[in-house]
Amino acid sequence: MASSLRVATHMAAASCFNQRRHACSQQLTKASGLFHPLTNRRSSNSFRLAVGASQSSRVQCTHVRDVNTEELDHLVTGERDTPLVIDFCADWCGSCDILSEQLEELAEEYDGRVRFVQVNTDQEYDLADQLEIRGLPTMVFMGKDKAKRATRIEGMLSVDTIRQLIDDVADLHS
């Protein structure tokens, strides 16, 4: 009984991330000011995995928010009271699904001290093209201070590496 409950819970949690990817259906808009200095690094353990997303039962997720181009522009160019982690993902990307689970856990761990958002590159194609998002997942880590350089990384990362990158740009330990 406990084993089947764990399997059902895991399946519900996994489908949660697929639901969030389909939530954004707003019109694509071009926004200015989205280009910020980025440090572009490719993770050493980068890999691509394409798997079909499950369309089974849906559960609402709350810690990582889906945003469109207009919302992202506001978050990047507007006043920020918390550091920002942006995950560029796609429905068909298996690595993105795994990363979504990790980000959900990290968002809960950081408990509002860091804002986590996702941009679906299939739905926000013009933005992905403008920002030259070529590999998925791609993550951008931005501190509260807009003058401080952001960090951009393509590929799958371990939770510890993501945590270290967040702490570096967020200056949470200073």
- Tokens for 19? 């639901």
- Tokens for 137? 């997942």
Task: Residue 47: count other Cβ atoms within 10 Å of its Cβ.
Answer: 10
Strand order in the sheet with 138-142: 38-42, 150-154, 138-142, 84-89, 115-120, 65-66
Instruction: Tell me which of 16, 24, 61, 96 is the catalytic residue.
Output: 96
Tell me the C-alpha distance between 101 and 112, whole Å: 17
Tell me the C-alpha distance between 166 and 171, whole Å: 8
93 among known catalytic residues? yes
Instruction: Tell me which of 16, 61, 89, 93 is the catalytic residue.
Output: 93
Residue positions annotated with a catalytic role: 93, 96
